[in-house]
Amino acid sequence: MKNYYVLIMAGGVGSRFWPISRTAHPKQFIDILGTGKTLIQSTYDRFAKFIPQENIFIATNDQYLNLVKEQLPTITDKQVLTEPVMRNTAPCIAYAMYKIRQINPDAVVVVAPSDHLILEEDVFKEVIINSLYTASTEDCLITLGIKPSRPDTGYGYIQYTTKALNENVFKVKTFTEKPDLEIAKTFLQSGDFLWNAGIFVWSVKNILHAFALHLPEMNQIFKEGIGAYNGPKEREFIQTAYYQCTNISIDYGIMEKADNVYVTPAAFGWSDLGTWASVYELSEKDYVGNAVVPEKSVMMYDSSNCMVHVPKNKLVVLQGLHDFIVVEQHNMLLICPRDEEQNVKKIVADVKERFGPDFI
């Protein structure tokens, strides 16, 4: 286990969960499901059960450092990688891999988002352990694929072949960005497509070799920091390095180009919690389909199939409301039909344009 590491990516702003998720306090630091734990706490605890705690690293934005330390008090400063600007996942991963390699050149790393839900944690652990073992013994970059239960247009898809490294690690054939409904239906029917979970497993040796091949300029930027990682000059180096990086995802920059990419099909009760609709689907509901957090301060009359998330100290009474999202946080209130929640991102942009950053 000493060679097994985790990088939890926690730098996003989660604008689809506005007004609860805001730039100053995004969704990974919020208990969206009302479980008593924030999403990043749940993610950390899930890995800490089988990965040495000193081997768990968090990548986040500079402005969230205090939030990370507050919510994960056992984490040391050396385990938190802070980014001065948002540059997508490729620079974040390059930074982390060089930092971890300096600690342990034989490291094998799981890279995972901080804001996903995993319902079957025992199955998840088994899949991760098997993937870590494969990544430590084979020349491969592994991504986890979720067996689709419906033709969902909100996820990217991975197509795989019968060529396999072992009984559950298959060669990737294609990556497809979010398809329209008809294409998603054909993917589901074909049986060889999976949802892209955005969870990766690889050795630092193999992923840094892929950076050198496919993103050589970015690789060179972070290679120049070899003397600085895990020391007093790391932060100063990163402040300069990030501004030289292009904004590019690891999927587009490497996974779609490399020829040693494999996928592990899995089913462990996964959701990326990307929208209020996904939270509604996963929340406990009353007999008429209302999902209410917290239950005690909300009274519902002749209302059904609503997603309601309001402050604990506020009494909210709803009458005659059906299929709506009602979300309040601080001095902001959003009331929106559930089937129009895709407009939330545009609403956030409009709010910012009209009122400035104070409400974002």
What is the mean pLDDT of the segment spanning 210-222? Answer: 98
| 35 shares its domain with 166 | yes
- Is the per-residue pLDDT at 202 higher than 90? yes
Pairing of strands 157-166, 169-176: antiparallel
Asked if 97 and 109 count as a contact pair (C-beta separation under 8 A), the reply is: yes
Q: Do 342 and 237 fall within a single domain?
A: no
* Between 184 and 71, residue with greater pLDDT: 71
Are 227 and 104 members of one domain? yes
Helix axes 89-103, 204-214, angle to 10 degrees: 140
107-153 pLDDT tens trace: 999 999 999 999 999 999 999 999 999 999 999 999 999 998 888 87
Point out the domain boundary residue: 220, 255, 271. Answer: 271
Domain span at 118:
4-271
* Residue where a domain stops, chosen among 271, 294, 325: 271
- Domain end: 234, 255, 271, which one? 271
Alpha carbon distance 35, 244 (integer Å): 40
Asked whether residue 182 falls in the same domain as residue 95, the answer is yes
CATH number at residue 263: 3.90.550.10
Say yes or no: 176 and 314 in one domain. no
Q: Both 25 and 81 in a single domain?
A: yes
Statement to judge: residues 200 and 280 lie in one domain? no
Question: What digits encode the pLDDT tens for the residues 148-199?
Answer: 888 887 888 999 999 899 889 999 999 988 888 888 898 888 888 999 999 9
Q: What is the pLDDT of residue 109?
A: 98
Are 346 and 329 in contact by the 8 Å Cβ rule? The answer is: no
| Together in a domain, 214 and 313 | no
Q: How many domains does the chain have?
A: 2
Whether 303 and 285 have beta carbons less than 8 Å apart is answered as: no
| Statement: residue 204 has pLDDT above 90 | yes
Q: 289 or 314, which is more confident? A: 289
Is pLDDT larger for residue 57 or for residue 14? 57
Closest CA to 255 of 333, 199, 319, 304: 199
Looking up tokens 């049986």 gives 191
One domain, residues 193 and 326: no
Whether residues 261 and 295 fall in one domain:
no
Residues 265 and 282 in one domain: no
Q: Say if residue 257 is in the same domain as residue 288.
A: no
**3-state secondary structure (DSSP) of residue 185:** helix
CB 146 within 8 A of CB 270: yes
